Chain A
Amino acid sequence: MKSKSRSLLMRRLALHAALTPLAIIWLFPLWMMFVFSTMPDYGIFNPDIVLWPSTNFVENFNVLQTETNFLRAMFISITVAVIYTVLSVMLTSMAGWALARYRFAGRSIVIAIILGTITLPFAVVVIPQFIMVAREFKLANSWVALIVPPLFNSLGVLFMRQAFSMMPSELFDAARVEGVKEWRIFLHIALPLARPTMAALSIILFLASWNNYLWPLLINSKPGMMTAPVALGTLIGITKVSWGGIMAGAVLLTAPILVVFIFLQRHFISGIAAGAIK
């Protein structure tokens, strides 16, 4: 017994010894982002790299806020991410439920098309999508343009379809025999049982919206309607780049996501595993 626990300890030590340098490599840029956000621009470009934070964060933030109205952009980003996540989870759940549980003509074709859209890079659709939203629907610089076009998420549909397919069909048959209407079966039985998957999907969708740069840059470039990543990008000018301000913005953009991730990492990881393995 003693030798067994000893070998377990040795294995753990070896594992930690191998993983710690990797963790440092990955965490180092994040730490330096934080350090740079507290330095004046000349400090960032100092040939002697300083590894500890300075005291210039408020000044950097003031530059950021003055030049980009960053708090407004953060408000837009959060609002868009929340609305997008809620609506997208609702839509993908309904689509996933239909594809998992109902047999209808053309079902496999629909699934194939959805699956096909995953393989299309966003760069392929971005121009036609921009023309449609901006020119045809005249929705540029609006909330709708930010939220609606990315709303249909094929990965989310397949994610939810998988979750509903895994549930025993006898549960729903039992409810049908009891006379429960289809939409109530979905609402009262299927959705509560899919809660862990929905939580994982919510995190993924929230992150996708929060980090989205290209589409908001194209469609909402008017000051006052920019999302936070787009606003942050405007600090990179042709003649002047405010690195301290950019780093302060990057810290503010990263912090909420880190907090969310730390609290919900269990759901996040289980959701990824559910999609990958089951």
Chain B
Amino acid sequence: MAGLTLTNVVKRFGALQVVHGANLEIADGEFVVFVGPSGCGKSTLLRMIAGLEDVSGGEIAIDGTVVNDVEPAERRIAMVFQSYALYPHMTVRRNLSFGLQMNGNPKEDTERRIAHAADILQINELMDRRPAQLSGGQRQRVAIGRAIVREPQVFLFDEPLSNLDAELRVQMRVEISKLHKQLGTTMIYVTHDQTEAMTLADKIVVLRAGRIEQVGAPLDLYDDPANQFVAGFVGSPKMNFLKGRVEAVGGGSITVSLIADPSVRLTMPVNSMPAEGTPVTLGIRPEHFTDAGAGNADLKVAVDVAEHLGHTSYIYASVADEALIIERPETRHSGHRQDFTVGLPARRCFLFDADGQRLR
């Protein structure tokens, strides 16, 4: 087992810079999830940690040793790929043993490791099958098994569940979480699915356009996002953003009105004081709207579509031309084009400046 340190890590492909000075500390045994939209550099960062991509600048250290110029095999890591990357012409047993055999690992030790991995993942009955004869979930288990037999210091997962159907994805997510508890090894997991990130991670690293936007525990990111991007990315359904304007400043708080409905005004405590008239963005999560009258201001919206899921309802609504998602427990009466009033609790709202930075 080992911790990891990324110091000012940069990646360039020719003139194009895709990772801009990433700094990160990963503790021994931690489960860290890199999350971000497509093209944000999360997989590139993972591949640099694996040694599959050269580091253009900065340092990557595993267990205190800088590994920039160390071959992938010597980093004591194991990687699970999105496409599973199982060798199609080999049986499951051969897939598990291939790397160890090619490195001259003693046969008895190889057998022991394979048996151990097969027990953990319950793939004993699949050992003589080829990948084509396995289901998606079984293939994924074998791919994880191939990582386990290496007995690595760090596990790297590159979007390992994205090829599975929704149900299997949930199941495998739980299994990976269990595996982490069982093995206690450092794991780095890349995904674009924030639900996976929230449910699996000890620590989430949110990336955008090659930059780390925020690092923190899942609920810290949910409760206290550093900027509008993180606020919008973490949480499902995503946070609503409404354009606003600073109306009044003073006494450690500011009063903001909504552009869509200037009669809606909220007073919120902040440390940094923007000037009156400054444009801001007000963020509120779908689940944080209250009943009309129960918040600090009421907002009248027009309902476009309502999805009733039984225990909860998602109401897709709009105010002026700004779209909103409102989550209300057991609201069954909201139909198309009905007016609907919800409450805005100031303590649940976030304010962002024109650059998307949080106003605290």
Residues of A within 8 A of B (CB): 168, 170-171, 173-181, 184, 188-189, 192-193
Contacts and interface: CB of A to CB of B under 8 A. Distances in A.
B98 A180 contact: yes
Contact of A177 (B52, B83, B100): B52
Nearest to A191: B89
Contacts of A180: 73, 98-99, 102-103
17 contacts: A170-B82, A171-B85, A171-B87, A173-B85, A174-B79, A174-B146, A175-B99, A176-B51, A176-B52, A177-B79, A179-B74, A179-B99, A179-B102, A180-B73, A180-B102, A188-B98, A192-B89
Contacts of B82: 170
A193 B50 contact: no
Interface of B: 47, 50-52, 71-74, 77-79, 81-83, 85, 87-89, 98-100, 102-103, 146, 150
A178 B89 contact: no
Contact of A168 (B73, B74, B83): B83
Nearest to B152: A177
B103 A189 contact: no
B85 A178 contact: no
A178 B81 contact: no
Contact of A170 (B81, B102, B103, B146): B81
A170 B73 contact: no
The 7 closest A-B pairs by CB, nearest first: A179-B73, A178-B99, A174-B85, A170-B85, A170-B81, A180-B102, A177-B72
A4 to B, nearest CB: 33
Contacts of B47: 173
Nearest to A189: B87
A174 B81 contact: yes
A193 B89 contact: yes
A193 B85 CA distance: 13
A184 B102 contact: yes
A178 B73 contact: yes
Contacts of A168: 83, 85
A22 B146 CA distance: 55
Nearest to A174: B85
Contacts of A192: 89
Contacts of A176: 51-52, 72-73
B110 to A, nearest CB: 12
Contacts of A170: 81-83, 85
B196 to A, nearest CB: 20
Contact of B81 (A173, A179, A188): A173
Nearest to B87: A189
A89 to B, nearest CB: 18
A178 B150 contact: yes
A171 to B, nearest CB: 5
A230 B89 CA distance: 43
Contacts of A193: 88-89
Contact of A188 (B50, B73, B102, B146): B102
A180 B85 CA distance: 14
A270 B238 CA distance: 49
Contacts of A171: 85, 87
A271 B31 CA distance: 46
Given A189-B87, A192-B89, A177 B74 contact: no
Nearest to B84: A170
Nearest to A171: B85
Contacts of B83: 168, 170
Contacts of A177: 50-52, 72-73, 77-79
A175 B85 CA distance: 9
A39 to B, nearest CB: 52
A180 B95 CA distance: 13
Contacts of B88: 193
B326 to A, nearest CB: 42
B52 A173 contact: yes
Contact of B102 (A173, A174, A181): A181
Given A168-B85, A176-B72, 10 more contacts: A170-B81, A171-B87, A174-B81, A175-B99, A176-B73, A177-B73, A178-B98, A178-B99, A178-B100, A180-B99
